[in-house]
Amino acid sequence: MHLDHAGGAGLLLQKLPNARAFVHPRGVPHMTDPAKLIAGSKAVYGDEAFHRLYGDIVPIDAARIVSVADGDRCALGSRTFELIHTPGHALHHYAIVDRAHASIFAGDTFGISYREFDTARGEFILPTTTPSQFDPGQLIASIDRLLSYSPRAIYLMHYSRVTGIPRLAADLKSQIEEFVRLARASADAPDPHAAIRAGMLELWVRLLNEHGCRLSAAEVAQALAGDLELNAQGLVVWLERERKNKQSG
């Protein structure tokens, strides 16, 4: 339901009168009434940036929404797609499996890959841990579930097609584990967000250097400024949720 994925769905359905939206049950109320999604996104981005990025969000008529269960299939012409629940980035996240072509449309579950970081080793990938539902255990389990289909290619929302899936999956899981270590080590810092952000940048600069990327640390920081900010926010929210769970448990 994140607006960089679903924000245009209502407008798109206005242009496609025979189309339906396939949505996780958690997301159905937000697609018919996106007020809470809008408020949450404004809290993250601010009003000005929100309107620049997303404009007006159009609700979808409930009659045109299909509430999807894990493992449901849908046909599109001669193609059949399997819809699988892949939480970790978000509780309402689905990936779309195209078995006939050994491909998966992974949304954000399989991370982000920027073409400017491609080297002779191939693509570089990084997790996205944006607020507010990041869960490291769920995300690693979802990555393993994607791997169980033995995909030859995965199509990312940000950005495009990647191959060499086993290596990228190992890189993702290693980074997620390092994020958890970094977040916990920063929990008692005067400014956990700043500490996490600095540690994440240091990690990515090192990994990109090992990957053969020749960008300077300053250039990496500039290229990943948005990811550093949002990922650090997500890890702070996760830390707070983990603390509350321990207290209540």
5-20 per-position pLDDT tens digit? 888 999 999 999 999 9
Strands 160-162 and 21-23: unpaired
* Whether the predicted pLDDT of 249 surpasses 80: no
* Whether the predicted pLDDT of 248 surpasses 90: no
Q: Look at residues 67, 86, 113 and tell me which one is the last residue of a structural domain.
A: 67
For position 72, what pLDDT does the model report?
Answer: 97
| Cβ burial, residue 118 (10 Å; 0-12/13-18/19+) | middle
Total domain count, the chain: 2
Q: 123 and 59 in one domain?
A: no
Q: 179 and 132 in one domain?
A: yes
How confident is the prediction for the chain on average, in pLDDT?
94
* Whether the predicted pLDDT of 240 surpasses 80: yes
Q: 91 and 41 in one domain?
A: no
Q: 140 and 159 in one domain?
A: yes
Structure confidence by residue, pLDDT tens digits, 150-186? 999 999 999 999 999 999 999 999 999 999 999 999 9
| Cβ burial, residue 188 (10 Å; 0-12/13-18/19+) | exposed
Q: Which of 120, 110, 124 is nearest to 173 (CA)?
A: 110
* Whether the predicted pLDDT of 219 surpasses 80: yes
Q: 39 and 80 in one domain?
A: no
pTM (two decimals): 0.91
CATH number at residue 144: 3.60.15
Q: 116 and 12 in one domain?
A: no
Q: Look at residues 33, 67, 101 and tell me which one is the last residue of a structural domain.
A: 67
Number of other residues whose CB lies within 10 A of the CB of residue 214: 8
What is the rounded CA–CA span in Å between residue 224 and residue 231?
A: 10
Q: Look at residues 67, 96, 122 and tell me which one is the last residue of a structural domain.
A: 67
Range of the domain at 136: 73-248
Here the tokens at position 21 are 């939206």
Q: 137 and 101 in one domain?
A: yes
Counting other chains too, the contacts that 93-102 makes at CB distance below 8 Å and 24 or more residues apart are 93/24, 93/142, 94/22, 94/24, 94/68, 95/142, 95/146, 97/149, 97/151, 99/149, 101/152, 101/153, 102/149, 102/150, 102/151, 102/152, 102/153
What is the rounded CA–CA span in Å between residue 6 and residue 36?
A: 14
Q: 160 and 47 in one domain?
A: no
Q: 210 and 122 in one domain?
A: yes
Q: Which residue, chain included where needed, has tokens 């007020």?
A: 35
Q: Average pLDDT for residues 224-234, to the nearest whole number? A: 96
* Whether the predicted pLDDT of 1 surpasses 80: no
Structure confidence by residue, pLDDT tens digits, 18-75? 999 999 999 899 999 999 888 888 887 888 988 888 888 999 999 999 999 999 999 9
For position 108, what pLDDT does the model report?
Answer: 95
Q: How much of the chain, in percent, has pLDDT values that exceed 70?
A: 100
Q: 115 and 93 in one domain?
A: yes
For position 245, what pLDDT does the model report?
Answer: 86
For position 75, what pLDDT does the model report?
Answer: 92
Q: Which of 128, 130, 135 is nearest to 172 (CA)?
A: 128
For position 99, what pLDDT does the model report?
Answer: 95
Q: 212 and 89 in one domain?
A: yes
Q: 46 and 154 in one domain?
A: no
Q: Average pLDDT for residues 120-132, to the nearest whole number? A: 95
Here the tokens at position 61 are 């008529």
